[in-house]
């Protein structure tokens, strides 16, 4: 019986020591990850940094070991005292003495259990911190895409589980990226990278592993698709980058991209595969940029260009029509069934949930614009001029649909308040000008803008936007009001 209590106390002490040591090791690991957000160090600097971290870990371990030793000694002293009492002269033992000794053992073990529970809570908290730190270590700080480290790890995983046999690699490069930094400043260059990364994430995340490969280069690893399907999806995405305008400090920046694809060949090394995709990209650059090539073995071949609709004389903007699961953007004048092609509220609800889920992974904001006609009973979604101007003004990445009461809804991912207000102002002015010149009786709209937090539903966001529209109309109409947006 006495030996059991002694063994039990030692077991508790050892477990506590292990918990402490594991906790401090995890804490050090988390510090290490957060201290290295992706900076590249030379060999000597990295060795010095590693040695410094090892010294910190060693000192922390020394302090913890001393605390653990003190806790274990205290616990064992109590157990040994109770053991000596119970092992003493049996003739002097009575029921009260035995009961007190047992109570001491119980209290000692209860105290140890409390300390174990505290250590467990600490470890769970540190485990959560470690998961967050690991996510940061695998994420590019600027674009919120996977970084090069995560890309390399993903390729290794595909090699180890055999799925690489069905993989297609895309490398995409922003054309003449240096000119954005030189002509508009590095903040403009950063904005270009963020917007391009958003397009890649939204369009490809369901079918590919998307990462920032380095600088202005991005990579995507397609799985479960044929080579031909990957070419089509990749080229549609590349074209979409070229059709959108990035508004930065009062200027519209035109962005183009070049691309190369390569399918993994049996027995091929990772570096050889990447080199072939890079060769296809290089060929796209050498033949004029703003295009894509795919590798037929070791020979680059051009990806078929997507057809675009011809522009009419009155067209304000030519949009590339991409038949994808997202919205097809059509800006042709006078399309008779233009209204029927925009998504109704049930589809907009579904799209709202999908966009929120996707954008949360890349930490990108989503804004909603609600457009309501001031002239009752005209509905904005049913008026051809309102719809046409709206479509011509929004970005290629935006989604246009209608609410149940006939208002137009626009989803703007990867936007900010300033950019959303700018687009809304253009819509207001464009609708007024277009209807005034065509009929002499101008149509005006009231527009509400709201930001989408992570925890709010479609109905809550629509209600916020409707409140903003009401305020705009109460102020006289033909105005833009912002409701519930971050400062």
Q: Which residues are catalytic?
A: 216
User: How many Cα atoms within 13 Å fall on the side-chain side of residue 190?
Assistant: 7
Residue 196 and residue 218 in contact, taking contact as beta carbons nearer than 8 Å: yes
User: For the chain, how many residues are written?
Assistant: 487
Supply the DSSP string of 220-284, one letter for each residue.
Answer: EEE-SS-HHHHHHHHHHHHHHHHH-EEEETTEEEE--EEEEEEEPPTT--HHHHHHHHHHHHHHH
Neighbour-count burial of 237, counting CB atoms closer than 10 A to its CB (0-12 exposed, 13-18 middle, 19+ buried): buried
CA dihedral 181, 184, 187, 193 (to 10 degrees): -60
How many Å apart are CA 139 and CA 125, to the nearest integer?
21
Nearest to 371 by CA among 331, 339, 400, 334: 400
Please identify which residue in the block is written with the tokens 């980058």.
Answer: 241
Q: Where are the beta strands (DSSP E) in 385-444?
A: 399-402, 408-413
Q: What residues are paired with 247 via a beta bridge? A: 252
Q: Output the six-digit token pair for 449.
A: 């803008």
Nearest to 401 by CA among 342, 325, 452, 461: 342
């Amino acid at each position: 019986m006495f030996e059991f209590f002694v063994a039990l106390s030692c077991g508790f002490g050892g477990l506590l020591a292990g918990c402490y040591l594991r906790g401090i090791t995890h804490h050090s690991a988390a510090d290490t990850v957060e201290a290295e957000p992706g900076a590249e160090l030379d060999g000597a600097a990295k060795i010095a940094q590693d040695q410094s971290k090892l010294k910190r870990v060693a000192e922390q371990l020394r302090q913890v070991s001393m605390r653990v030793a003190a806790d274990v000694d205290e616990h064992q002293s109590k157990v040994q005292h109770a053991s000596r009492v119970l092992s003493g002269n049996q003739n002097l033992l009575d029921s009260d003495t035995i009961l007190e000794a047992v109570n001491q053992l119980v209290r000692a073990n209860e105290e140890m259990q409390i300390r174990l529970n505290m250590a467990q809570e600490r470890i769970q908290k540190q485990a959560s911190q470690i998961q967050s730190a690991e996510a940061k270590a695998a994420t590019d700080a600027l674009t919120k895409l996977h970084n090069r480290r995560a890309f390399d790890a993903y390729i290794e995983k595909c090699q180890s589980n055999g799925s690489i046999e069905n993989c297609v690699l895309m490398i995409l490069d922003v054309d003449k990226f240096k000119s954005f930094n030189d002509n508009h400043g590095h903040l403009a260059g950063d904005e270009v990278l963020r917007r391009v990364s958003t397009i890649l994430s939204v369009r490809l995340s369901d079918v590919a592993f998307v990462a920032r490969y380095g600088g202005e280069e991005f990579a995507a690893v397609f799985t479960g698709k044929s080579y031909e399907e990957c070419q089509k999806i990749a080229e549609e995405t590349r074209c979409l980058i070229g059709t959108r305008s990035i508004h930065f400090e009062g200027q519209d920046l035109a962005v183009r991209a070049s691309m190369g694809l390569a399918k993994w060949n049996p027995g091929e090394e990772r570096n050889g595969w990447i080199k072939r995709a890079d060769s296809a990209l290089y060929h796209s650059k050498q033949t004029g940029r703003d295009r894509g090539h795919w590798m037929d073995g070791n020979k680059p071949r051009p990806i078929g260009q997507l057809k675009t609709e011809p522009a009419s004389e009155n067209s304000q903007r030519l949009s590339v029509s991409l038949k994808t699961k997202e919205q097809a953007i059509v800006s042709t004048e006078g399309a008779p069934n233009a209204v029927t092609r925009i998504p109704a509220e049930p589809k907009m609800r579904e799209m709202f949930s999908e966009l929120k889920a996707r954008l949360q992974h890349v930490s990108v904001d989503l804004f909603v614009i609600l457009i309501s006609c001031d002239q009752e009973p005209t509905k904005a979604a049913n008026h051809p001029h309102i719809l046409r101007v709206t479509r011509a003004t929004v970005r290629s990445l935006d989604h246009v649909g209608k609410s149940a009461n006939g208002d137009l809804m626009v989803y703007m991912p990867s936007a900010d308040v300033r950019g959303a207000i700018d687009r809304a102002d253009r819509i207001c002015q464009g609708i007024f000008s277009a209807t005034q010149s065509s009929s002499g009786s101008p149509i005006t709209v009231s527009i509400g803008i709201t930001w989408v937090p992570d925890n709010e539903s479609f109905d809550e966001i629509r209600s916020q936007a409707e409140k903003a529209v009401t305020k705009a109309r109460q102020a006289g109409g033909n105005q833009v009001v912002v409701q519930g947006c971050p400062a």
